[in-house]
Chains A and B, each alone.
Chain A
Amino acid sequence: MNHLTAIFSHIGGTVLLFARAVTHIRTLPRQFPRFIEQCYLIGYTSLPIVTILSFFIGSVLALQSGYSMENFGAKQFIGTLVGLTMARELGPVMVAILLVGRVGSAVTAELASMKVYQEVDALVTMNIPPERMLVLPRLAAVLVMMPVLAIIANLCGWYGGALICQYTHSISVDSEAYFTALKTYMKPRDITDGLIKAEVFGFVIMLVCCYIGLNTRGGPREIGASVTKAVVTSLILILVLDYFVTKALLYS
């Protein structure tokens, strides 16, 4: 029963944090430098790893599907499979998992450290709401950067798949056929659904990481514990939400 109460208390706390951050939305224009700094940290610094990983995920997907689809004589549809899988599922999920590892953990560590060393208390006594200065610019930045990262991940995955199909002897599907299949059977909605997923994941990850960071209590040892908690919670939420968001987008 205590665990259940704790879970509801955390959900309530997270929603409250969001509500408090939103009340300061009018201050966002004058927090533009902080917003840009967060865009840089979330977007630009994640770019190399997103590019490399999505390229290889697209490549592996092409290799696996080439091997399986050959049995059905359906090799010409590899482009469709890679395109749809990257856009609808692997692009947003992979970017979200990278966001947890690279950005979410850093945000939790920073905020937890500010809490432990009383910097957050100092803000409160100065009548500067921490939600305004520490949460709002991060939420705004993640909402802007997640779709950008997801689009880049899709493109890299698609080109990774194309390259493998063209140059792997046992597959031998040329780029033109690959991209024709990709374009023919993909609808714009497949891409927008993926971007919606990326937005939802990014928003939830950032909110959860900020909440856990700002609710750290105790000494420096708790900073590490908070980071672990934030990463584990975010990963679970990504995969659980993935099911519900996918179902809502496909069957509603």
Chain B
Amino acid sequence: MSAPYTAAPFVGKTFGVTVARLHKRFGTTPVLKDISLEVKPGEIFCIMGPSGSGKSVLLKHIAGLEIPTSGEVRIGEFDAADPATRDQIRLALVFQAGALFNSLSVYDNLALYPREHRLCGEAGIRDRVMHALAILSLEKAAHKFPSDLSGGMKKRVAIARALVMEPQLLLYDEPTSELDPVMSATLTEIIATLREQTAVTSLVVTHDRDLAFAIADRVAFVMEGRIRGVGRPDEFKKPADPVIANFLNPVIDLKNPRFKQLENNHE
């Protein structure tokens, strides 16, 4: 692994996550059906599944951004749906599109958390922000605005913003989506390195098989709102479940009758 990153601070206490019999409906549509899983403190846990399977909704429940229809999500001993939990736990979520504040520069995006929580004076904030930027080799982007950044840089800034919080639980939503293979590999390295240095529990929602199998301690497969399988990545090298096997190793068959049907419809 190349090592362009300076060391991130060890966060101290980190938390595990327990999801118990979680159900979620939007109107009459069930999105999550009886999800139960346990993430141990300090592990990298990847949640995989096809688009629309409900994995991002699951992540939002863990972040406390959605309220379960039934069941519960606990971070350590705290209820994730209770807003007071955020006073107890520093939880950071790296959003799929970055969710950077467009009206603020990169520096101010990172400085927002320590400023709003009055963690230190401006000199301390500057040290903290510049250190987080240095970890992700972003020092030169400090005074740029999010609109001036590429997709990969936006994701790195989003990770840097999460690091400024010194999170005790770090959630990533599709960190490598819409990135070229080189940038995907770089971000995969970053996620693994950060866990190594900070020992923080990291939950990664992704459909990037290479990322999950390279860094995950355990992987869960969410399909059509249900957990289809949980285990170490090596257990899924040759999966017995044909649905998981088809998701991990899709066969592209141009003579597939479904494809032919589409072709006929166009004609």
CB contacts under 8 Å to A, within B53-68, are: 60, 63-65
As a 0/1 sequence over residues 23 to 45 of chain A, the CB contacts with chain B under 8 angstroms (1 = contact) are 00000001000000000000000
Residue pair B117, A119 in contact (C-beta under 8 Å):
no
**Least Cβ distance of A28 to chain B in Å?**
14
B95 neighbours in A (Cβ, 8 Å):
118, 121-122
Instruction: Please measure, in the bound complex, the distance between the C-alpha atom of A114 and the C-alpha atom of B100, giving whole angstroms.
Output: 10
Q: Which of B60, B86, B118 contacts A127 (CB 8 A)?
A: B86
Instruction: Please measure, in the bound complex, the distance between the C-alpha atom of A118 and the C-alpha atom of B113, giving whole angstroms.
Output: 16
Residue pair A126, B165 in contact (C-beta under 8 Å):
yes
Within 8 Å of chain A (Cβ to Cβ): is B51? Answer: no
Instruction: Please measure, in the bound complex, the distance between the C-alpha atom of A126 and the C-alpha atom of B91, giving whole angstroms.
Output: 7
Instruction: Please measure, in the bound complex, the distance between the C-alpha atom of A127 and the C-alpha atom of B116, giving whole angstroms.
Output: 9
Residue pair A126, B99 in contact (C-beta under 8 Å):
no
CB contacts under 8 Å to A, within B18-63, are: 60, 63
A118 neighbours in B (Cβ, 8 Å):
95, 97, 99
Q: Which of A30, A114, A117, A122 contacts B93 (CB 8 A)?
A: A122
A125 neighbours in B (Cβ, 8 Å):
63-65, 86, 91-93
Instruction: Please measure, in the bound complex, the distance between the C-alpha atom of A196 and the C-alpha atom of B63, giving whole angstroms.
Output: 43
**Least Cβ distance of B100 to chain A in Å?**
8
A30 neighbours in B (Cβ, 8 Å):
118
- Chain B: which residue is nearest A120 at the CB level? B99
CB contacts under 8 Å to A, within B106-158, are: 112-113, 116-118
Within 8 Å of chain A (Cβ to Cβ): is B197? Answer: no
**Least Cβ distance of B55 to chain A in Å?**
16
Instruction: Please measure, in the bound complex, the distance between the C-alpha atom of A121 and the C-alpha atom of B56, giving whole angstroms.
Output: 13
CB contacts under 8 Å to A, within B75-95, are: 86-87, 90-93, 95
Given contacts A118-B97, A119-B99, contact A124 B117 (CB under 8 A): no
Q: Interface size on B (CB < 8 Å)?
A: 22
Residue pair B99, A122 in contact (C-beta under 8 Å):
yes
Residue pair B97, A128 in contact (C-beta under 8 Å):
no
Within 8 Å of chain A (Cβ to Cβ): is B101? Answer: yes
Within 8 Å of chain B (Cβ to Cβ): is A186? Answer: no
As a 0/1 sequence over residues 56 to 94 of chain A, the CB contacts with chain B under 8 angstroms (1 = contact) are 000000000000000000000000000000000000000
CB contacts under 8 Å to A, within B229-260, are: none
Residue pair A117, B86 in contact (C-beta under 8 Å):
no
**Least Cβ distance of A130 to chain B in Å?**
11
Residue pair B113, A126 in contact (C-beta under 8 Å):
yes
Residue pair A121, B97 in contact (C-beta under 8 Å):
no
**Least Cβ distance of B199 to chain A in Å?**
21
CB contacts under 8 Å to B, within A95-148, are: 114, 117-119, 121-122, 124-128, 133
Within 8 Å of chain A (Cβ to Cβ): is B102? Answer: yes
Residue pair A133, B92 in contact (C-beta under 8 Å):
no
**Least Cβ distance of B110 to chain A in Å?**
11
Residue pair A121, B99 in contact (C-beta under 8 Å):
yes
Residue pair A126, B63 in contact (C-beta under 8 Å):
no
**Least Cβ distance of B117 to chain A in Å?**
7
B100 neighbours in A (Cβ, 8 Å):
119, 122
B90 neighbours in A (Cβ, 8 Å):
127
Instruction: Please measure, in the bound complex, the distance between the C-alpha atom of A124 and the C-alpha atom of B80, giving whole angstroms.
Output: 13
Q: Which of B64, B93, B99, B112 contacts A128 (CB 8 A)?
A: B112
Instruction: Please measure, in the bound complex, the distance between the C-alpha atom of A54 and the C-alpha atom of B109, giving whole angstroms.
Output: 41
Q: Which of A121, A122, A127 contacts B117 (CB 8 A)?
A: A127
Given A119-B99, A126-B113, A128-B113, 18 extra CB contacts under 8 A: A30-B118, A118-B97, A118-B99, A121-B60, A121-B63, A121-B65, A121-B95, A122-B93, A122-B101, A124-B64, A125-B64, A125-B65, A126-B112, A126-B116, A126-B165, A127-B87, A128-B112, A128-B116
Q: 3 closest A-B pairs (Cβ-Cβ)?
A: A118-B99, A122-B99, A127-B86
26 contacts between A and B (CB under 8 A): A30-B118, A118-B95, A119-B102, A121-B60, A121-B65, A121-B93, A121-B95, A121-B99, A122-B95, A122-B99, A122-B100, A122-B101, A124-B64, A124-B65, A125-B63, A125-B64, A125-B65, A125-B91, A125-B92, A126-B92, A126-B112, A126-B113, A126-B165, A127-B87, A127-B117, A128-B116
